[in-house]
Structure 1
Amino acid sequence: MSSPGADLAPSDLRGLCLLAADGVVEVSRVVEQLHHTIARVSLPVGSPVAGTTRGITGLVYRSVRTIAGVAGSGAGLVLGRFAPAVPLGQTRIGREHLLSVLNGILGDHLEAGANPLAIDMGFLVDGMAVDLDSGLPDELARQAGRKLLVSLHGLCLNEACWVKPDGDVSLPRTLAESHGYTPVYLRYNSGRHISANGAELAEKLQRLIEIWPEPVEEIVLLGHSMGGLIARSASHHATLEGRDWVNPLSSIICLGSPHHGAPLERIGHRLDRLLGVSPYSAPFARLGRLRSAGITDLRFGNLCREDWQDRDRFEPGDDNRQPVVHADHVRHYMVAATLDRRADSLRSLTIGDGLVPVPSALGQHDRPERQVPALPEHQLVVRRSGHVDLMSRRRVLRQLQHWLRTSAASPIRKA
């Protein structure tokens, strides 16, 4: 088996050069701030010392940053002439996994810097990328049906996550084959704001149904973890914008999605604040601030731009999420997992599947306007299961099959 590095394309080397240069610049700022604090003999507790180093020392730090920036840009320009971007679906799995992790952690930074490592959102059908400008290739058009099952992966993952570890068939494909759907997979930059991905998905789904060879009669969105949040965000944007694809949208299925946030991001936020207590540790808080917008959105489960705009996402703040618009005819199905034997235990209520507490995954909230509109019979808690396990559990497959059969037998009338 080849290593991910062996799978890298020439354009990736350009992206890594730019990313390495950015890393040198950021680390030099951390070291300089710590150097300045020590030189000023600051008290161990208090606010960070403002300013930078002076004289020859300051010149050295500035020179390091300048040289790193010039070297990274120069290498990027040279490699850019010989390294075209790699089309979606035309690279090896090792490379795709590496890029997915990088995008989850630093995706917003990669996008802002036009780094070629940034993943562009796109659809795949049967492993082939869908060109929304030219339509489906003939081999895909021949197998296109009128019912679409669109699957959305989670943070730091890609469409390969749906395949079982033993290489068996995936959950989406099994559902599609048993209920007559055409499986469509979404790949996206999971480090962007959830609202940005949701808005783009709303627009791209509109274009997808416009070029689809058959009239689309039904759409089901299936999301794992962050993917479920993006599905709900896309539905929100599409409903507000009056997108045509909302009409055939019948169901949104969420597996382990942190609808009301995840403890791990909240711990990271508290760690940032703890590091800021001392001027000697405050410089290292800069490293924590490198985590992506997609990750910080998971503190509360932000789905709308209004949830985070005009706010410093790293500063303390309340849950200011705006109400999410739901089309009345769309059913919401929630699947949660817990490592415990009991769904109502303290362990289930606090850490749930290890990443998402059970109430958050079920969309339950004390404030009615923040409740995800999932009926009790449309909720499932899988016991003795982890977060990633939800994509491969037979219990989950059987329940989803039951829900889809029930949905087909009693469709909700559109207003």
Structure 2
Amino acid sequence: MSKNDKPKPKPHYAPALQRGLHEVSHQVEAMHRAIAGKTFGALKQVPVVAQPAALIESIHDAVSTGIHAAVRLGNRGLLNLAGRAESALASDAPPGRRESGVRAAINGVFGDHVAANGEALATPMQFFERGKTAPVAIEHLKLRHHRVCIFLHGLACDEHCWTPDDESDQPDYGARVLADFGYTPLYLRYNTGLPIADNAAAFAEQMESLVAARPDIEEFLLIGHSMGGLVARSAFWQAAGAEWLTRVRMLICLGSPQLGSPLERLGMITNRVLDSFDVTAPIGAIARRRSAGIRDLHDGIGSDEGQDPPDIELRFLGATIAEDSDSTLGKLVGDGLVTPDSALAERTRANVARAQLGGLGHMAMLHDARVWQQIRTWIGEGYVPAA
């Protein structure tokens, strides 16, 4: 084995969980101290019990410190054992759908932290073919008509989210774009906990490498769900003038929070409230540990941050859980995570078309007959069949 062929470290959940539990334990201890401090502080203001209260407080602090230290020690020992067992069971085989989903969720919430720690658990950005567990070998990719459709998943998901269950009659968009239009589907997997701008830069590099390896690809269609649409659009802004951009025909965004998500804004407000009180500040510290990717959803990518390429067709699809998408409830709640004004980004200056559906939730947009019909309509407009 050469120096360049060193085996890659295997992802382990135990070390990441150990660090997380260690931090949570410290924050719980801080909250415990804050609550006890207020109680003992009040007692020490009473002359008769001031001295006994101070003595009891010192004993309490010593005991509670010991208890929390013992809990952390116990967690460390237990998770060290789990780590050794995990290493013993580790395999060189690619992770299956279930394990990949667990990693995607962890990366969505803490992806920037696991990446900063250099853990193998951090998800690298890679392309996959439909139903395959190993990354695609681009040079061997079979193309039907020199056209490729790339699917970009949303927060805390991976490429499997685009594939409906085998027993389901829901539409598989990847299979449909291949059958109806001859686009070979490729699925991007990436660490959704990283900043959107970082993922966009990495995606632009991946696209440039893809074009260099396969110059026979004549046209790209991009379909992004939620955060995936933001990553693609941000990549356009960062890669102005790049060769791969000249081959992108259209970007379809499904429920992408172009102008931000109200849930993350609520999260920021909640954080400020928690930080305002000694007792709840430790909870606020835990909440602030959510990933940069999640925090980026506070504002989305806005409408004035960059310039959308005028030759690329942008198609924004929004949804509301209310049957009447124009109702007050529909406008206020949207698809449960993204409101229509954000998904449709009315202020965007570009080659844009928009559509909105009622009675549809955020995740349901991944496998819905009406969504596919709208995608199909957009692709079909101006579509030139291969010779």
TM-score if structure 2 supplies the norm length?
0.81
Shift in Å, 1:207: 0.6
> Which residue is 2:289 aligned to?
290
Post-superposition Cα deviations, 1:315-335, rounded to whole Å, max 9, x if no partner, equal xxxxxx862221110010011
Correspondence for 1:413: none
CA contact 2:311–2:351 (8 Å) conserved in 1: no
1:175 counterpart letter in structure 2: V
TM-superposed CA distance for 1:116, in Å, is 2.1
Contact 2:14–2:83 under 8 Å retained in 1: no
Q: Does 1:256 align with 2:259?
A: no
Contact preservation (8 Å) 1:28, 1:61: no
Matched, 1:123 2:133: no
Alignment-derived partner of residue 25 in structure 2: 28
- TM superposition shift of 1:234: 1.4
Deviation for aligned residue 1:35: 3.8
- Contact (CA 8 Å) 1:256, 1:387: kept in 2 or not? yes
Q: 1:273 to 1:210 in 2, by over 3 A?
A: same
What pairs up with 1:208-357 in 2 under 5 angstroms? 208-212=210-214, 215-239=216-240, 242-302=241-301, 323-357=305-339
The code of the aligned residue for 2:131 comes to G
Give, in whole Å, the separation in 2 of the partners of 1:144 and 1:68: 57
What is the CA–CA distance in structure 2 between the aligned matches of 1:68 and 1:108, rounded to whole Å? 27
> Per-residue deviation at 1:347?
1.7
Deviation, 1:57, is 6.5
Distance 1:403 1:72 in 2: 54
How much has 1:24 moved relative to structure 2? 2.8
Task: Write out per-residue CA displacement over residues 138-175 of structure 1, whole angstroms, 9 at most, x where no aligned residue.
Answer: xx34x454111000111111112112344455112202
Residue 394 (1) aligns with residue 376 (2): no
Count of aligned pairs: 357
Among all aligned residue pairs of Structure 1 and Structure 2, give the percentage whose two residues are the same amino acid: 30
Q: What is the SS of the residue equivalent to 1:185?
A: strand
Alignment partner of 1:205 out of 207, 214, 234: 207
* Shift in Å, 1:127: 3.4
SS of 2:381's partner is helix
Q: Mapping of 1:155-166 within 5 angstroms?
A: 155-165=155-165, 166=167
- Deviating runs (4+, > 4 A) in structure 1? 53-87
Deviations 1:249-297 (A, max 9, x none): 1111000111011111111111111212321111111121121111111
Describe the shift of the 1:181–1:252 C-alpha distance in structure 2 as closer, same or farther (beyond 3 A).
Answer: same
Quote the Cα distance in structure 2 between the aligned partners of 1:164 and 1:69: 38
8 Å Cα contact 1:363-1:372 kept in structure 2:
no
Q: Is the 8 A contact 1:25 1:68 kept in 2?
A: no
| Residue deviations 1:212-268 (CA, integer Å, cap 9, x gap) | 2x51211111001111111101111111xx321001111110001110111111111
Distance change (3 Å), C-alpha of 1:399 and 1:267:
same
Q: Letter of the 2:186 partner, please give it.
A: V
Could you say what secondary structure the match of 1:114 adopts? coil
1:406 aligns with 2:378: no
Whether the aligned pair in 1 keeps the contact of 2:324 and 2:330 (CA below 8 Å) is: yes
Distance 2:294 2:73 in 1: 31
SS in 2 for 1:107: helix
Q: Which moved more, 1:265-274 or 1:220-229?
A: 265-274
Give the 3 Å change call, closer, same or farther, for CA 103–86 of structure 1 in structure 2: farther
- Counterpart of 2:34, as a letter, is T
How big is the shift at 1:391? 2.1
Alignment partners' CA distance in 2, 1:338 and 1:184: 28
Alignment-mate amino acid for residue 275 of structure 1: L
Contact 1:259/1:363 (CA < 8 Å) preserved in 2? yes
Q: Is the 8 A contact 2:14 2:80 kept in 1?
A: no
For 1:201 and 1:324, locate their aligned partners in 2 and report how far apart those are by CA, in whole Å.
17
The amino acid that maps onto 2:121 is: L
Question: Is 1:136 aligned to residue 139 of structure 2?
Answer: yes
Length-normalised TM-score, structure 1: 0.76
Find the aligned partners of 2:66 and 2:156 in 1 and give their Cα distance: 36
Per-residue Cα deviation, 1:102-148 (whole angstroms, up to 9, x for no partner): 1111111111112222111100124344466xx433xx34x454111
1:383 correspondence with 2:385: no
Aligned-partner residue type, residue 122 of structure 1: Q
**Structure 1 residues not aligned, in runs of 5+:** 1-9, 45-52, 304-320, 366-370, 411-415
8 Å Cα contact 1:11/1:80 also seen in 2? no
Match of 1:7 in 2: none
Identify if the C-alpha distance between structure 1 residues 118 and 267 changes in structure 2 by more than 3 Å, giving closer, same or farther: same
CA distance in 1, matches of 2:181, 2:282: 54
CA contact (8 A) 1:332 1:374 kept: yes
3-state DSSP of counterpart to 1:408? coil
Tell me which structure has the larger Cα radius of gyration. 2
Structure 2: gaps (5+ residues): 1-8, 43-57
